[in-house]
Structure formats: structure tokens, C-alpha cells
Structure 1
Amino acid sequence: MDGVTFAPVQTLHGWAQFSPFYPVRRYRVPPKGCSITQVNGISSCLKRHGARFPTLHSGERIKSVVDKLKSAKSYIREDLQFLKDYTYDLGFDDLVALGALQSYTAGQLAFTRYSHLLSGDATLPPFVRSTSSSRVIDSAHNWTSGFSFASQHRFNPVLSVIMSKDASYRYSQTSANNTLAHSGCPLAGDGDEKSDAWVNIYATPIAKRFNSLALDMNSNLTAADVVDLISLCPFDSVAKQEPSQFCNIFEPEDFTNFEWGMNLDKYYGTGYGQPVGGRVEGVGYVNELIARLTNTPVRDNTQTNRTLDSDPATFPLDRSIFADFSHDNQMVAIYSALGLLNEKHEVLDETRVNPETEWDTSDVVSFSAEMVVERLSCAWDPPVAGYKPTEYVRIMINDALQPMSFCGADENGLCKLSKFVESQSYARNDGDGDFEKCFLTQT
């Protein structure tokens, strides 16, 4: 958690996409005989922005729920008494201090782990892109600062491309063709129906519990209110960098159920469960990744920006480290387009929690989450005459090595580069017709 430890891991696991980053596994160095020849990403390809305040609409809802609770004349339980003197004081949208630290620390780690790829050439630092949200831009800048500091300012990466309308940056385009934002599918569906069904199941009893504990309120809490109130626990905690008192008013099972609702929202929003939009919104990024891994031009007919991707100044192939900054929804689409988190071919159930799910939002899209893609060159050890090294790919999400059976990965998570590219037929075929659904009303 980037040096900040203020809550037990089991609690963070119930915080879903609002969990601060934590390594899911210990980073595994390449096996003997293999060396990393390129890292496509942050210390990976893709990184979510750091911890933030609630969004504007979410914050307004949270404050409204807090006001409901504060309107009570008395509370039965002692752990609610703090509400009498509590004032909601969180901001909106922007990074909190912890969020800035997360990206800065990640930049330092990226240098420590991958600086050998830079070959001493300070003219070719990591290439950094972001989408246009201020918290994403700030995260990218914090990462470049951390990388620069760790290198003793020898390598000074800059944010070279912001995929937005922001005219203050040299390279900018409209968000319609943006592989780092969930914006390329006008008719995209969402996960509301599935997640709302689960909220009604688990949160209705919690609402009744609170309504019986806070006496003489102006109005009763609803199931939807409970979701906002639970989310205040992580938001308040990451903002204050200490456990929020709101965390203490819920049971461990409440957080488990809260996270399952968020899992459903992501899976059916931009993941495998969404037939319109969903994983196809990650196709453009996957095709950019293939271009980087194979040192070939981008081939894509979905949401890539052809102008940017065809210009070596805005989409270079001569770098060894690439850093892309995005949002959780888009990361889910990219994971799904790649075929990750699908080893069990699970379909999430909106009526019950699956504790063994691969689709754990705390583990895969936490604040400052990252996906690392490494290209490695592996040879026999000791060398065998006439044997040429083979290129391999491995992927990690929050340092957890992905099994990637879809491309024949071995026990070290290694797929031959050629097999990996072959396995990405969904992206190479522009989503097998799914992209067209984004623009054609279904009849």
C-alpha cells in the first residue's frame, strides 16, 4: 500500500475499486535463462490513477445519506455517537495525498525494477500517456516525478500525450478515439440491473438495521443509501490516511457483499458480461499493445486514434518502457479484451457471492492498480549450439502473475510472443463484430 498501512488486508478486500493499491502477490523475477527486453507499461502497460475523493455525484449522495443519519435525535449503538459532531468535509474528484504518493512511489519502483532496459540512453526515457481527467493527468505527472527522482534526475520522462481536447498540450485529440477512456461506444450498456438486484438483496436488511438504531430520523435510509454509506469508509480512510469511524459501523459481511455488488457492476459494465460495449472497448488498446510488443504499426479499426498512432512522435516503437494512465472501467474492458480473469469461465451471479471469484475488484482495479506486460527473451541455460533465444510475454496485475492458458503459458506464466499474438484474435479482428453494436440500435 505504498508505505501507508492503516487497515487490515481483509478490510481492504471489501473496499472493491476504492481499495488502496496492495501487491496481490510478490513480484516474481524472470526464470533462469530469461531476461526482460521490454516492459510495455508503467512498470507495466497500464495504471489506474491514485486514490481520490468521491466523484461529484457520488459525494453529493454520500453527504445526503450522512445528513439523514445526523438528523436522528438519538442513537442506540455507541459506535454511532460520533455522528453528533461529525461534519462531512471531503472534496470531489481530485486525488488525495495518498493518491499522489501512490503514483510517485510507483514511478520510483518502475525505475528500480526496469532501469536496466534504458541502456544508459537518457534521450529515450519512458513514454507516458494519459487520458484527460485531472486526477489521471496528475497521477501521470506524479509517476514521472518519482521515476526521475529514483534515477537521480538522469532520466526525466514527461507526459507526452493526453488523449483529450485540452489545447494546452501539444498532442491532443477528441475523446471519441481514446484507448485510455471508456468513451468509444455510444450505445454501451451498463451493469446497473445486475448490481441493483444484488443491492436490494444484501443492503435492504442493513438499511433496516440502521433505521432501527438511529431514532427519529427525518427519513429512513434505503438500500441505495447503504451502498453510499459503506463507500464512505474507504473514501474517508484514504483521505485522512487513517481508519474512518464509518468503517466500524459495518460488519465484515457487509463489506463482502458491498464488493460483490461492485464486482457485478464491473463485470456487467465493461467486462465479459456486457454484450454492447464491454470488452470491445479494450480492443484498441490491445492492438496498440501488440504493436509495441512486435515493433509493428498499429492495426485497428475500433477506437484507436489513427493520427496519434501513426506518428512516431505520439506513438513511438523505439522505447523500452511505456506508461499509460487510465480509469478502472477502461482497465476492466482491456483485461476482458485480452482474455484475462477468465480461466474459470465464470458468469457472475447477482443472487449470491462467489468467494472464489477471479473477478475481485480489490485485487485488479484498486486505486493505483497496474497491469504489467513484459516481453522476455529466453534461451537454454547453459546455451545450446544453434539454438536462438525465443521471445515470450508474461502479464501481471498488481504483481499477481496471470496464468494465460489461452496462449499456452507455462508454470512461469510465459507465453511465446507468437502464441500470445495469435491468441488475441478478438482484438486483431476488431472485436468480431461487437464494435458495430456500439453504433447500430438493436431490433
Structure 2
Amino acid sequence: MYTFMVLFLSSFRTVSGLAIEKAGTVESVVTSVVASAVPLATKTSKSSGVPDYFQTTLGQFEGPTATGDAAFLAETNPAPFPSKSYIPVSPLETQVPIEGNSNDANIFQLHGELSHYFPNPDGWGVEELPLPPRSYISYLHMLHRHGARYPTLRSPAPTLAERLATANGKFDEMQPLAFLNSWTNKLGVEILVPIGKQELFDSGTLHQYMYGHLYPNNGSKIIVRSTTQNRMTESAEYFLSGFFGLQWPKNASLELIIEAPGFNNSLAGYFQCPNANKPVNQGGLNATHEYVDTYLVDAAKRFNTWSDGFEWSTRDVFAAQMLCAYETVALGFSSFCGLFSYEEWLGYEYATDLSFSGNNAFQSPTGRAVGIGWVQEFLARVKHQTINEPTAQVNFTLDSSTTTFPIDQALNLDFSHDTNIMAILVAFGFTQFATPLDPTKQIPHELVVSRITPFAARVDIEIISAPEPISSTRTRGTFQYVQGEPTQYVHFILNQRTLDLGRNFPECGSRSDGWCELNTFIKVQEKMLEASQYEYACFGEYDAVPYGTLGDGVPMGG
């Protein structure tokens, strides 16, 4: 039998250091569940005798779970095309001719947060160096996004799909949109698609090869954290199956934290940051709309010449690009992909970057605040402390107990969402992603969403123990150490490539390996809760400002 820990979250937030119940109401079903769940430590199921937090029947917190039609790629695939497949050894068909793709580039790595997982091919500006002899990794803190999924309910893609469903017979049979005369929407809602399950299983297998030695061999279980959303729960399960095998419940207890409004959850920090979901935080969306109305003007004209009585706006065409991404991961192939030029796919990526920059990162007034809860948990873990008072979105009820928040666990595995991971990187202070973008034209930048938070993105934070200080200028084959006391370092790896801590945090100094001394990094991060302006950013009253006005992930005048 699988072992789960489904735990109710406190709906408290910090105001002047006090625990004050969050105002407002939660859906009646949530209220009734919370009311009947006290005390959690002793309440058990009458039928099984197992405490509630080990039950798997709390389905009301799963979120939407509609599945879509089964893929039939053997019948629908128009390939083989006379070119290479961009995702080898994969069920996805990506051999799609793209106009203007003279360099044979991969447009499937330009799909922003909807991109099938791939490691950053260019790195983050620092050389990858191995561990020096006699040094070892003592702890891993992993933060992992869920796998590829169907569209969310708020996505423009299903809205366009509904319109197209009533437009049969309105597309020229001799033009590229002819397939829409018989097209139907086969996509489900929000749950993992088959390739998304594979992404997490593969990642679990990779992490077993990378970090399997950190699992204790004394027969004890580790605590793994995810949320109650269906795709989040299953992502953790598939990862654990890849890491441990199908017997993973013998090795890990899966702690599922309720993901819903009114509940503290550092893995979904936006639910305890109301301003993150209000018009005051739509600068990125506004910038995206401005850019979409620029780069897709010609595409909209092209689509309208192929249609009879169906009017395409630039935003409709943008939604069609999203359908390409969604159908590819869900069904294996999409006829929408080949409708766009390579330049238009570059535009799609840039439009997504604008959205994340302004809604979730340094150009957002809540960018730091949404992610600060997980940063505080990371600090507590590396200092081997529990959290015993209300702190941002942290559930101090859970985090005050070593049963649900282990402080000496070498292998720490957490699962979250793309926007939350972006906000966590901002809350840490990775300013290399802080450059404001231009909503009228593409400019060079490092906040490229497909390389930061594609499906199944992962941040691996290694804590490294060394017998002496490691030389800051080491290279492969050079002397590794300088004389001194044993030292610990922190090493950040985003999608299998090292982030340069010295570049983002001057206190860490310039190092050829991108690492930072752990004690120095802790001192830097201890200032970040105050820097996030959590109370004001999430609950204060302030005016929205145009995209590009903000630059540090906090409101003006906070």
C-alpha cells in the first residue's frame, strides 16, 4: 500500500510578528474538511485506522482532472519529413518543416513554459567543474516542476479551441488551415500527459544515478513533499518510481500539502499572496499583449486570407501557437506548428519571457514575495532548524515538526510549479534574470523561460563538504585546495547547468566553479525575507505600474 502524508495547512500569515487568521472565506468544502480535521495527530479513518494524513481520499484538492482523447499518432502523423527529429528516442513527432529555419534550429525548444524538458544547451555563463578529490556532496535540496500537462482552465488555448469547434467548413480546402474543417479538440485539462509522466520518471532515474548514494541505508524513509493537485501528486510518484522503482513507498513517505486558496504552501506561494492574482500584477501580461500585437500582425493577416467567416486576431494566432505546444506533448504531433515561421516562433518565446518577467520575476511587485517561503525553508534546512513561527507562506505547523519537516535529511525532494520556481529564483536574488525586456522588440536577455522552467524543470542545490578551502581559480587538472579549515560550499544547478553564485551575489566572490561558501550564502539569504517586503507586496494597497517600471521584484514605495 502506498504511504502518503496528506496534511492540512495553516491559514495564518505574519503581521507584526503575530499569527493572525487570514481574512476571507474558503469554499465550504474546504472549511468543512478543516473543521473535521482536528487534531490531525490523532484523527484516524474508522475503516483503516490510519491517520488522515496517510489517506489518499482527499480528492477535492486535486484540481481539474479531465483527461483527453487517446493519441493515435500512427494514424495522424504525416511524417516522415525529410529532416531530422529534434527530440530523438521519443514518441513525439517533431520533424516539421518550418519556414525560415535555415539553421535547422529546434522550434520545440521555443515553447516557453510549455517546452518538453531539455537541459540548457548553453549553460548559465560559468564552466562546469567536477568535485575536487576528497570533497563530497553531503546534502541535496531539489526543487522540481511537474511534467508536461494538458492546458490549464485559464489558458487561451482552450478558449480558441472552443471557437474552432463551431467553425467547421470555414477554411479554404486548398490552404494550410484546411485541417481545421475536420479538427476537434482532443486535449484534456491540467493533468499529466504521457510524455509528462516519462519526463518525471526519467528525471527520477537520472537523480538516482546522480544522488542515489545520499539515500540512507538504515531502512528509514525520507519525507518527499508535493501538493494535492493531481499533476503534482503524480509527478512526485513517477519521479519516485524512477528513483527507487515501483517499491518506492518502502523508501519514501509522500507529504501532500493542500494547494488551494487560504492554505499556506511554499510550493504554491501565490495562494497566500493575493496581490499576485490581481490586476496590480499584470504588467507582464500587458507587455505580452503589446508584443503579440506587433510580431503576429502578418500572421493574423495570413490566417484570415485562409479563412471564410472566421476572424483571427493576433491573440487568436498566439493561442494557435500554444495549441501547437500542447498538442505536440499530448498527442505527439500538431498541425498548428508548421503554420508559423521560425521568426514567429522566436517571437512566441519572447512573448512568454515578457509574461514571466512582469508577472513572476523582477518586474513583478510580488516576484520576491511569492517565492520567499521556500527560501526560508531552505535556510532552515541548511541550518538544521525547524520553523516555529509564522513566516510568509510557510506552514509553521508542519515546519515546526521534524516528522513533517526533517532537518537532517540528506536527500530533500520538493515538487512545485513553473511560476513558483521562477519566483523562488527571484526571492533568492538571482539578478542575472533581472534585465527588463522591451515589449516592442526583442533584445538580448537571460530570462528565457524555456531554459528556466520548461516542463519538468529542476533546481538541484548541492551542499558540498571539503577538507580544506577549494581554490577559487581552479580549473580542470590544476591544484584544487588552499591551506585552511574544512569548508562547506553551495552549488546551484538549474536544468543540469551551474548558476554562477558570485555573479549574482558579490559577497560570494568570483569563483571559476560558480560556487559559494555556505556560511557566506546563508548570511546573504538571511536578508532576503525583509527584502521581499512580503506583507506589503502580498497584502498592501498600491497602484499598478507599466511594465519595466519595477526592477527588484517588489512594489514601488514599499
Q: 1:402 to 1:119 in 2, by over 3 A?
A: same
Whether the aligned pair in 2 keeps the contact of 1:204 and 1:223 (CA below 8 Å) is yes
Q: 1:437 to 1:119 in 2, by over 3 A?
A: closer
The 5 A counterparts of 1:262-341 are 262-275=352-365, 277-298=366-387, 301-340=391-430
Give the length in aligned residue pairs.
421
Structure 1: distance between partners of 2:183 and 2:407: 53
Q: 1:200 to 1:430 in 2, by over 3 A?
A: same
Q: 1:385 to 1:57 in 2, by over 3 A?
A: closer
Q: 1:110 to 1:80 in 2, by over 3 A?
A: same
AA matched with 1:13: Q
Structure 1: distance between partners of 2:220 and 2:230: 27
Q: 1:336 to 1:71 in 2, by over 3 A?
A: farther
Please name the residue that 1:170 is paired with. none
Whether 1:421 aligns to 2:510 is no
Percent sequence identity over matched residues?
29
Give a deviation string over 1:194-248, Cα, whole Å, max 9, x none: 111111112233211100122x22x31111111110001111110123x322111
Equivalent position SS for 2:252: coil
Give a deviation string over 1:256-295, Cα, whole Å, max 9, x none: 11111111111111110012x2221111110111111221
Equivalent position SS for 1:393: strand
Q: Structure 2: state its 5+ residue gaps.
A: 1-86, 96-104, 471-478, 544-558
With the length of structure 1 as denominator, give the TM-score of the two structures. Answer: 0.87
Please name the residue that 1:111 is paired with. 208
| C-alpha displacement of 1:254 | 1.2
From 81, 89, 96, give the equivalent of 2:193.
96
| C-alpha displacement of 1:67 | 3.6
| C-alpha displacement of 1:16 | 0.6
Please name the residue that 1:168 is paired with. none
The 5 A counterparts of 1:2-401 are 4=90, 6-7=93-94, 10-25=106-121, 28=128, 30-33=130-133, 34-41=135-142, 46-58=143-155, 59-67=157-165, 70-77=168-175, 79-125=176-222, 127-149=223-245, 156-164=251-259, 175-181=262-268, 182-188=270-276, 189-190=281-282, 191-214=284-307, 216-217=308-309, 219-241=310-332, 243-275=333-365, 277-298=366-387, 301-340=391-430, 342-343=431-432, 345-354=434-443, 356-380=444-468, 387-401=484-498
Equivalent position SS for 1:429: helix
AA matched with 1:133: Q
| C-alpha displacement of 1:369 | 0.6
Equivalent position SS for 1:183: helix
Equivalent position SS for 1:158: strand
Structure 1: distance between partners of 2:445 and 2:489: 28
Q: 1:300 to 1:270 in 2, by over 3 A?
A: farther
Whether the aligned pair in 2 keeps the contact of 1:144 and 1:158 (CA below 8 Å) is no
Structure 2: distance between partners of 1:262 and 1:385: 45
| C-alpha displacement of 1:324 | 1.0
| C-alpha displacement of 1:179 | 0.6
| C-alpha displacement of 1:54 | 0.9
| C-alpha displacement of 1:68 | 6.8
Q: 1:96 to 1:385 in 2, by over 3 A?
A: closer
Whether the aligned pair in 1 keeps the contact of 2:257 and 2:265 (CA below 8 Å) is no
Give a deviation string over 1:386-436, Cα, whole Å, max 9, x none: 8432100011111121012213351112100011112224424262x3432
Whether the aligned pair in 2 keeps the contact of 1:211 and 1:220 (CA below 8 Å) is yes
Structure 1: distance between partners of 2:381 and 2:451: 26
Cα root mean square deviation, aligned: 2.7
AA matched with 2:338: N
Q: Structure 1: state its 5+ residue gaps.
A: 166-173
Structure 2: distance between partners of 1:385 and 1:440: 49
- Which structure has more relative contact order (CA 8 Å, sep 6+)? It is 1
Structure 2: distance between partners of 1:163 and 1:178: 7
